[in-house]
Amino acid sequence: MPAPPQLIDSEKMVRLLVELHTLEARTDGSGLPLDSTRALFRQEQKKIYWQFEVTDSTFMQSYRYYATHNQDLDGIYSTVVDSLAQREARRKPADAPPEHR
């Protein structure tokens, strides 16, 4: 599969995915009914796309491209997971007890 003409570069894709996954966690934890949660997510998702100056179509084409190139998507998500973990660590107070798994 050739790269789409407006491929989102991997660094920007990481930042975009971090924001989208953070949004997903916030909306899922909102306690709203499922249909309201989905509507809120879609509304806020559009704002994120606007902030990153991409369209939903450009995002989907880029995501599909990276997904068909497994190493690319693996690398992107490795960075996304690290970024989300760092955000979570910064949110926890220093004296919070460690989580048990």
User: Residue 65 CB: number of other CB atoms within 10 A?
Assistant: 18
CA distance 15 to 17: 6
Joined together, the tokens standing for residue 95 give 């004296």
Joined together, the tokens standing for residue 6 give 């407006």
CA distance 98 to 94: 10
Provide the greatest CA pair distance for the chain: 50
pLDDT tens track, the chain, 101 positions: 788 889 999 999 999 999 999 999 999 998 999 999 999 999 999 999 999 999 999 999 999 999 998 788 899 999 999 999 998 888 876 555 666 65
> Nearest Cα to 55, choosing from 46, 67, 64, 63?
46
pTM of this structure: 0.83
